[in-house]
């Protein structure tokens, strides 16, 4: 009985860690979209460099998006936004 309980807890923790990982991946991937913003009149910036709120956005091509995703994954600002 004790063994089944321990195995059940380990399996539960495993699935919870997968869910947390997928949520973090989703947040980082969502931030990987290339946004064109104009915080200053006429100036275009990339959201992967400056975390700003944008109204209009243009999804980047897949490989560009994936590259920005990898760059954001190891960016300390991204982890501050998540936690």
> Is 18 within the bounds of a domain?
no
Owning domain of residue 55: 25-82
Is 68 or 63 the better-scoring residue by pLDDT?
68
56-61 LR contacts (CB < 8 Å, sep 24+): 57/33, 58/34, 59/33, 59/34, 60/32, 60/33, 60/34
Is 27 or 81 the better-scoring residue by pLDDT?
27
pLDDT, position 32: 55
pTM tops 0.85, yes or no: no
pLDDT, position 71: 72
> Is 57 within the bounds of a domain?
yes
pLDDT, position 41: 47
> Is 15 within the bounds of a domain?
no
Judge whether 39 and 45 are in contact, CB under 8 Å: yes
Q: What are the tens digits of pLDDT across the range 14-67? A: 999 988 888 877 776 666 554 444 444 445 555 555 555 554 455 555 566 667
């Amino acid at each position: 009985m004790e063994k089944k309980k321990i195995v059940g807890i380990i399996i539960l923790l495993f699935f919870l860690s997968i869910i947390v990982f997928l949520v973090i991946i989703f947040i980082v991937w969502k931030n990987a979209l290339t946004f064109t913003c104009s915080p200053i009149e006429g100036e275009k910036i990339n959201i992967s460099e400056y975390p700003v709120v944008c109204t209009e956005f243009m999804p980047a091509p897949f490989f560009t998006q994936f590259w920005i995703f990898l760059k954001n994954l190891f960016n300390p600002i991204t982890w501050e936004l998540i936690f």
